[in-house]
Amino acid sequence: MRGKAHGWWFSLAWGSLAAPLGMGAAAAAQAPDRLERVDLKALEEAFVSLAEEVRPAVVAVRTYRVHDQENSPFPNVRIPLSQGSGFVIDPDGFIVTNRHVIDGADAISVRLIDGTAHDAVRVEDDPRSDLAVVRIDAGHLPAVRWGELSKVKVNQWSFACGNPFGRANQDGRSSITFGVVSALGRQMTRRLVGGSDTEYYGNLIETSAAINPGNSGGPLFNIHGEVIGVITAIETTSGTNEGHGFAIPIDRNTRRILASLKAGQKVRYGFLGVEVQEVEPDPTGRVVTLRSNLGAVIREIKVPNGPAAKAGLKPRDIVIEYDGVLVENHDHLVRLVGFTPVGTDVVVAYLRSGAKQRTTVTIGDRAELLGLPEE
């Protein structure tokens, strides 16, 4: 079973340390043969301090369907719909969560760490990124600090904070777990939503920090107490944590999305009008000379009169450069195009039958070209 961490042990062995492979004799001689209890105590105190710092900005989110019963002494009955997590991004009550946490809700409730519950209004949400911003009527709230994906490394500490199994629904006290950044750049769109044109789950951070149903929308922190991701999904066969959780990374593109949502604006994504896939490695020498093991293959022209078609691109063309940037794979191209302002003219380099060519593409609007309904 794979799913979003919706309404959804890391063990560390300390002991005798041998010299790692490749370590020089001098360095090996300086390496401690064991870690003292004082070292473990310092680590423990660092973890405790981090939890005390970040938890006040994390909230529990509950949503409801409101059933209007005519001729009843209880005309508006709230029926629980989902539960999740969120975090404050502005002291004036702006809170980030996942869109799938609040999707379909008639009413949204947010509980703060002091135990107070507040009705929230939806400011704006974005189906493609699965992000949403809601607001409560409160001020002077503790807000998170942003981290940056470019500084995140595999095996760094990571801390997941939120409302697993609704544990914080009553008192607002969020749970926090720790692990490491297991991998970067995970592509989960097809695993989570199949071939959906609406949703995108790419370039995700994978973490071993325990994530369970109810953690969706909560923050993933680094050791400095900065948010490096928005917890969104788990991959599991049991429906609960098995050590594979995923978070939307915080980078300039994510911050741009959240800024738009906070301002009540819909997010526009660039689109070429094509479907792309990975490049199969070429067994010939062209792999080295033409970089044909990189890039993205145009599998299908989805919009016959769209930007790619107008620029002369065809199925089986391999896009290798986009606006001067080497294209690493199909997911990289999707991100490059998606965050290009609509209407921008971009030079694209591609391979056709082994020959390198260039063309200029005017980037279109994804929702408009695909005829996606406005929400």
What gap in Å lies between CA 18 and CA 27, rounded to an integer?
12
Catalytic site residues?
A: 100, 130, 216
Contact yes or no for 19/28 (Cβ under 8 A): yes
In 245-331, the DSSP E strands lie at 245-249, 270-271, 274-277, 296-301, 318-322, 325-326
By CB atoms closer than 10 A (0-12, 13-18, 19+), residue 364 is: buried
Pairing of strands 345-352, 175-186: unpaired
Cβ count near 197 (within 10 Å): 16
Closest CA to 46 of 223, 179, 177: 223
DSSP 194: T
Report, in angstroms and rounded to the nearest whole number, the Rg of the chain calculated over CA atoms.
Answer: 23
DSSP assignment of 215-244: -TT-EEE-TTSEEEEEEEEEE-SSSS-SS-
Length of the chain: 375
* The Cα angle at residue 216 between residues 215 and 221, in degrees rounded to 5: 70
- Residue identified by tokens 């500084």 is 151
Chain Cα centroid distance, residue 313? 31
- Residue identified by tokens 């990374």 is 249
CA distances to 161, 176, 259, 334 from 58, rounded to whole Å, are 7, 10, 19, 31
Q: Say which residues have a Cβ less than 8 Å from residue 89's Cβ, sequence separation at least 6.
A: 95, 96, 133, 143, 144, 258, 262
What gap in Å lies between CA 177 and CA 255, rounded to an integer?
24
Identify the bridge partners of residue 160 per DSSP, sorted by sequence position: 177, 220
